[in-house]
Structure 1
Amino acid sequence: MRGHSFIYSTLTYSTLMAATLALPFAAGTAQAQVPLNARPAIGGQVDAQHQFILDYAKQPGVEMSTNGVAYRFLRKKEPAVGQQPNPSNRIRVHYEGRLTDGTIFDSSYQRDETAVMSLEKVVKGWVEVIPRMHVGDKIEMVIPAEMGYGQKGSGDGVIPAGATLIFKVELFEVMPGELRSKGAG
């Protein structure tokens, strides 16, 4: 049975890579190109998650980061002026995080309060895409597990191992420096 698993994995990987390479040429329109390093990890769960990203990347206006984060602007200031965050900044945002099945795992909207966070302390997918935003922009990101919580998940069972994450983020403010921990003086 192990041989069948290997063959299935090889065929799935080959199919995924063929779809990845064909993606820019599909439908004759400009679409996001999935980088070759955005490969499926181990098992059918992750393969399905990567397929979700490939399907999302076919939608109009979707771009792809170097490490396989698919994103599109839901609201973009025109002309694109104003402050943009860098990885050493704190940011004030509204956001919603959900899984591919639609389960919301975190939402500042539901708490009715914006969140302030250090960009250095969020998942890698945010660090790669949020600096492309200007204050006032709203973006949707589809983050592969490798750029999110990986094969371990969040540890509390809320985000499963190998999960692709979907975030909507509104950027309200960019602030210098790292977020101070509670009790720091």
Structure 2
Amino acid sequence: MVLTCGTDTATVKTANGGQFLFSNKTNAIFMGAGESCKITVASGQTPLDGLSVTTQNADTATDNNPLTDVRDSDATTTGEIAFTVGGAGENNHALDIGYKSAPAQTDVKLTKEVMPATAKHGDAVVYTLTVTNESNSAATGVEVTEQLPVGVQYVSDDSPGAYVTATGTWTVGELAAKASKTITISVLVK
């Protein structure tokens, strides 16, 4: 952990219980009551690879009060905590940085086919939308928006999820790794 107050810094290793204490560091005497400081995670911490910082102040306590702000991470998404140094005897052992597994990255691809490519008044047209998860992780909460063009009338669809014609939203839901789902939307040209 790195403590920075102005241009002064102190570095300390986190104890195996998760505590990081700077008060006993010989070069930490530069901290004065009322001074603005920050704590950051030193770069190159390989045990943190693949992890991301948990949500800052998730329990809505933002004052870093050592008695009431104790159930969440106080760090920003970059792993930094800003605080004001207290006076003699004022210790805050509640400042912390929480980590969690980083969310899996997904790569979802959409393709669209229109048959026939050209149509006139009264013709039936079929839109085929295929959404494919090209990643190695499941994609959740997948939605596709495909607003039907002006000049066509919705007839039907064969959605494996839910398709709302008013908004053009197709709720796909979960899409397993390397999986695809397809919807066919039939319309008439007005």
TM-score by length of structure 2 reads: 0.22
TM-score by length of structure 1 reads: 0.22
Task: Identify, as 1 or 2, the structure richer in helix.
Answer: 1
Higher normalized contact order (CA 8 Å, seq sep 6+, divided by chain length): 1
Bigger Cα Rg: 2
Task: Identify, as 1 or 2, the structure richer in strand.
Answer: 2
